[in-house]
Amino acid sequence: MRDLTLRPSPISSTVDFLAEGVQHGFLRLPYSHDDSAWGSVMIPVTVVKNGKGPTALLTGGNHGDEYEGPIALFDLARTLKAEDVTGRVIIVPAMNYPAFLAGTRTSPIDKGNMNRSFPGAPDGTVTQKIADYFQRTLLPLADIVLDFHSGGKTLDFLPFCAAHILPDKAQEAKAFDLVSAFGAPWSMKMLEIDAVGMYDTAAEEMGKIFVTTELGGGGTATAKSARIAKTGVSNVLRAAGILKGAVESARTTWLDMPDENCFSFAEDAGLIEPLFDLGNQVKKGEVVARIYPIGRTGVRPLDVEAKMDGILAARHFPGLVKAGDCVSVLAVET
Ligand SMILES: [Zn+2]
């Protein structure tokens, strides 16, 4: 159970989440530092409300170097009109705003990884304070939650929308319905390496219908991945009955990450040679990538083998790899 004696959040909102119409403003978090004695972190937020109906909480920039979410959500915040909405849409395009400004996965202020910081703390670090505000203020307002991710600078993904296998099968089915509506080229039944402290887990434990994405990577967006994100968010809002109009149905291929054998990790550092590209079929025992030791010539590279048959759904992005890095993720068609 959450400690109900926790102090109030230091974050104040310049928008009123109960007011009708369109409001653009900030979540203001006081942050005193060398460049600004009484300064604040100003996290942009938009709320669009029109009468009674469900609330969607839409977030990007949970990791600061993932761009499809912020692109889709800055665009949506600028264009969404109150008369198009039934219910409420809360848009935070860059959740870990300090990380987003720095173009880094984690916050430059406290090295906080937003997606390992939940439930957060009102008296913690900047990242923990933001997490706490989502945990205690924004998530309770929401019925559905869409949190955009991509691979960031170090991973690249097949573009997919995803939800998790959950103990509550009714909640799980509603989440997979939204994944299907999102209409990314691929849809994933997602397995997490480490679910503790994730925003996903916080939302799901509160009974919210939670969907997420991985829409590319490498620390940039493409025309294709940005388009997928923009279409996907509109489709989710339509499927939830919040936005008028029909879901733009697109063909999606369902994938499953059955167990930990889908992950391969580097056991040494070096230069990585990919032997398969995203979307390729890989057989168990095949070499997915080679890692060349770079200290000298004449040394045999280290083979990274697939531990199962599957489609290459994610891969390490930079040309150099370190021991422990995730080299590849395989998924199976369902
Ligand atoms: Zn991410």
Dist. CA 63 → ligand 1 center (Å):
5
Using the predicted structure, report yes or no on whether residue 4 has a pLDDT greater than 80.
Answer: no
SS3 label, residue 130: helix
Query: How many residues are given for the chain?
Result: 334
Residue 21 CA to ligand 1 centre (angstroms): 31
Residue 292, burial from CB neighbour count under 10 angstroms (0-12, 13-18, 19+): middle
DSSP letter assigned to residue 2:
-
Measured CA to CA, the distance from residue 183 to residue 26 in angstroms comes to 31
Task: Calculate how far, in angstroms, residue 20's C-alpha sits from the geometric centre of ligand 1.
Answer: 32
Quick one: CA dihedral 139, 142, 143, 146, positive or negative?
A: negative
Neighbouring residues of 323: CB distance < 8 A, sequence distance ≥ 6: 266, 267, 268, 269
Instruction: Give the Å distances, CA to CA, from 84 to 54, 78, 88, 92.
Output: 14, 13, 10, 19
pLDDT at 165 over 70: yes
Q: How far does residue 297's CA lie from ligand 1's centre (Å)?
A: 36
What letter does residue 160 receive in the DSSP assignment?
A: E
Tell me what pLDDT residue 249 has.
80
> Residue 34 — pLDDT band, cuts 50, 70, 90?
very high
Across residues 198-225, what is the average pLDDT? 97
For residue 218, report the distance from its CA to the centre of ligand 1, in Å: 12
- 149 Cα to the center of ligand 1, angstroms: 4
- Give SS3 for 40: strand
How far is ligand 1, taken at its centre, from the CA of residue 152, in Å?
Answer: 7
- Whether this prediction's pTM lies above 0.85 is answered by yes
Per residue in 192-210, pLDDT tens?
A: 777 889 999 999 999 999 9
The H-or-E segment that residue 193 falls in is none
Cα(185) to centroid(ligand 1), Å: 19
Residue 157 CA to ligand 1 centre (angstroms): 11
Report whether pLDDT(3) > 90: no
Given a cut of 90, whether residue 256 has pLDDT beyond it is yes
127 Cα: distance to centroid of ligand 1 (angstroms): 15
User: What's the mean pLDDT in 24-30?
Assistant: 98
Question: Prior bond to 10 cis, omega within 30?
Answer: no
User: Do 68 and 213 contact (CB within 8 A), yes or no?
Assistant: yes
**Ligand 1 centroid to residue 219 C-alpha, Å:** 11
Rounded-to-integer distance, Cα 80 and Cα 62, Å:
22
CA distance 170 to 85: 25
Rounded distance from Cα 150 to ligand 1 centre (Å): 5
Between strands 281-282 and 310-316, the pairing is antiparallel
Cα(212) to ligand 1 centroid in Å equals 9
Name 22's bridge partners.
48
Cα 104 from Cα 219, distance rounded (Å): 9
CB under 5 Å of ion ligand 1: residues:
63, 66, 149
